[in-house]
């Protein structure tokens, strides 16, 4: 009874658990504490490269054979061909090992996974407000780069980004470049006065209140620590923003990234499969388990 009983389409089932082999092409230390590095990844196989297609806001599993996998938001825009960027905070077993790796090392990438920001549907034609705190700027960088590459599809774009200190800001070179553009409004802030800093000072919620972006035909994409999101909402609500206009990206412990293993559920939804991007309206209807 070892023969096949029937011809099986299952044999051809795509194995979404197996990562694509990839190489670290470049490593950039982002922050002064050295805990955040951006890894530029190049897939090794041409067929994987041609298949790869992601939406800003999606994530991928970075796979270090022998250590494990971690879900990391994709920091590059699909318009940046030939490279995939991941900005990784050193926190656990895998990220620590990744931080010790060198250019040219082999890793694995599994993805893209989850749902990104609806850049080509709901967000099209809207005024966009991007609000980010700390190292949660990564997938919003992807989104911003994508929107700038398709600038005509969006109305006014406002970026509010804050970090603890100037040295903790991500993508500093690009921030300077964006600040110089006239089709973009950029507000970069740090938590408290620092020598050599002549920009904004204050927490992200405060700055958001001061900038007071109009909710008229607009959407806000907010990523940051939960406390920042919590305090950013009241000033926005005061000027008329509603929950369905606000997009958030949730985080939870993940293992499979495919909505199967059960780790990342928030009530009935899986952050990995149904998210990580949700509207605030959706999140408000869920248990607070993230």
Partner 1 sequence: MKILKLEKSDLDKWLAEWMKSSPVYAPVQSGFGSFYDWARLEQGRMPELLPGVPKSSIKTFLFPQPETLEEFSADPADPSAFILKAPKTAEQLTIIAGVRPCDARSVSLNALPYAKDPYYSNRLRNTALVGFTCETQCSTCFCTRTGGLPTGTEGLDIAITRMDNTFLAEILTQKGELLAEAGRTGTDAGGDALSRLEQSRKNSGSPVSSADDPAPILREKDLMALYQAPFWQEIAEPCLNCGACTFLCPTCYCFDIQDEVIRDRGRRIRYWDSCMFPLFTLHASGHNPRGLKLQRVRNRFMHKLKYFPERFGPISCVGCGRCIRECPVNIDIREVYTDLLAI
Question: Helix 172-179 and helix 138-149: axis angle, to 10°?
Answer: 40
Our finding on whether 206 is near partner 1 (CB under 8 A) is no
Q: Which of 25, 49, 67, 165 binds partner 1 (CB under 8 A)?
A: 67
Q: Is 104 in the site for partner 1 (CB under 8 A)?
A: no
For partner 1, which residue of 40, 69, 192, 235 counts as binding (CB under 8 A)?
Answer: 69
285 binding partner 1? (CB under 8 A): yes
Of positions 73, 108, 114, 205, contacts partner 1 by CB under 8 A? 108
C-alpha separations of 193 from 26, 157, 179, 190, 202 in Å = 33, 27, 20, 7, 9
Interface residue with partner 1, options 29, 149, 212, 260 (CB under 8 A): 260
Check residue 164 for interaction with partner 1 (CB under 8 A): no
User: Using the rule CB under 8 A, is 195 a contact of partner 1?
Assistant: no
Is there binding between residue 265 and partner 1 (CB under 8 A)?
Answer: yes
Minimum distance from residue 23 beta carbon to partner 1 (Å): 11
Q: Which member of 80, 122, 191, 251 binds partner 1 (CB under 8 A)? A: 251
Binds partner 1 by CB under 8 A, chosen from 8, 46, 100, 182: 8
Q: Is residue 19 a contact point for partner 1 (CB under 8 A)?
A: yes
Q: Which is nearer to partner 1, 101 or 200 (CB)?
A: 101
Q: How far is CA 196 from CA 44, 166, 167, 193, in A?
A: 43, 9, 11, 9
Please identify which residue in 13, 102, 104, 182 interacts with partner 1, judged by CB under 8 A: 13
Supply the minimum distance, in Å, between the C-beta of residue 32 and partner 1: 20
Nearer to partner 1 by Cβ, of 92 and 125: the residue is 92
Binding of partner 1 by 212 (CB under 8 A): no
**Nearest residue (CB) to partner 1, 33 versus 177:** 33
The mark string for 165-194 relative to partner 1 (x by CB under 8 A, - otherwise) is: ------------------------------
Among 142, 246, 256, 277, binds partner 1 (CB under 8 A): 256
Tell me the HSE value of 30 on the side-chain side, using a 13 A CA sphere: 28
């Amino acid at each position: 009874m070892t023969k096949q009983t029937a011809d099986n389409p299952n044999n051809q089932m795509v194995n979404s658990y197996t990562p694509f082999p990839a190489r670290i092409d470049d490593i950039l230390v982002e922050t002064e504490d050295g805990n955040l590095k951006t890894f530029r990844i190049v897939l090794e196989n041409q067929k994987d490269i041609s298949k790869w297609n992601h939406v800003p806001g999606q994530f991928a599993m970075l796979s270090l054979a022998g250590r494990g996998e971690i879900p990391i938001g994709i920091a590059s825009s699909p318009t940046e061909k030939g490279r995939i960027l991941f900005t990784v905070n050193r926190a656990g077993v895998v990220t620590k090992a990744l931080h010790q790796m060198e250019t040219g090392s082999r890793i694995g990438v599994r993805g893209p996974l989850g749902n990104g920001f609806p850049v080509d549907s709901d967000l099209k034609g809207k005024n966009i407000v991007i609000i980010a705190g700390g190292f949660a700027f990564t997938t919003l960088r992807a989104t911003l780069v994508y929107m700038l590459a398709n600038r005509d599809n969006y109305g006014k774009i406002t970026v509010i980004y804050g970090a603890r200190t100037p040295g903790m800001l991500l993508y500093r070179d690009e921030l300077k470049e964006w600040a110089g553009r006239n089709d973009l409004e950029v507000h970069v802030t740090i938590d408290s006065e620092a020598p050599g800093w002549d920009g904004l000072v204050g927490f992200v919620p405060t700055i958001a209140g001061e900038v007071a972006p109009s909710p008229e035909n607009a959407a806000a994409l907010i990523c940051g620590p939960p406390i920042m999101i919590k305090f950013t909402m009241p000033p926005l609500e005061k000027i008329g923003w509603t929950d369905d206009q606000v997009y958030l990206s949730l985080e939870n412990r993940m293992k499979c990234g495919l909505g199967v293993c059960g780790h990342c559920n928030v009530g009935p939804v899986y952050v990995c499969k149904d998210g990580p991007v949700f509207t605030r309206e959706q999140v408000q209807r869920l248990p607070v388990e993230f």
